[in-house]
Amino acid sequence: MIDIQDEGYFPSLEELCGYVRNPLFDRFCLEMKERFRCREKIEFSSCSWEPGWNIKFKKSGKNLCTLYPRESYFTVLVVIGAREKEAAELILPDCTDRLQEIYCQTKEGNGQRWLMVDIEDDDEVYRDMLRFIELRREAGKMHVRIDM
């Protein structure tokens, strides 16, 4: 098994999937690639908050989400910024109580909320996170159109 905090060893996506040992991780990565047409970028973070290997999914230079592999589950980080805030708060009442609680308890800083959500099962929380990622993608498209 790989050491998720060994900066000297660059793991493949397959090795990270083996580390997580949850088929939902594989499915999430595949869904990101197919649905959002983006590729993964495996990076090592040496920040004290969340050190170790993670997987970023970017589209047109915008980070849609970051995955933090864990043993038997994974954590998804989605940043809700000023562009996504209104849309996020419109769909929030339709989201699970758990996601509503995470959103409300996450402090806003510099106009952003950094939502870190543990994913273990194919449930409503999983689907809610995909909706929030969709908001990130759509906000990026609007930004590109405005800047053209």
Choice between 1 and 145, residue whose per-residue pLDDT is larger:
1
Task: State the average pLDDT over residues 66-74.
Answer: 95
- 75-106 burial string, b = 16+ CB within 10 Å, else e? ebbbbbbebbbebbeeebeebeeebeebbeee
Alpha-carbon gap, residue 65 to 35, rounded angstroms: 13
Phi, psi (rounded to 5 degrees) for 62:
-100, 130
Beta strands in the chain, from DSSP E residues, in sequence order: 39-45, 52-59, 62-69, 74-80, 113-119
State the pTM of this model: 0.89
Q: If pLDDT is split at 50, 70 and 90, which confidence band does 51 have?
A: confident
What was the pLDDT predicted at 58?
92
Average pLDDT over residues 44-62: 88
**CB 24, CB 75: distance < 8 Å:** no
* Cβ contacts of 138 within 8 Å, gap of 6 or more: 87
Distances (CA, A) of 147 to 3, 86, 123, 138, 144: 42, 20, 37, 14, 5
pLDDT reported for residue 49: 73
Residue 148: is its pLDDT beyond 70?
no
Would the pLDDT of 62 be above 90? Answer: no
- Compute the average pLDDT of residues 100-108: 95
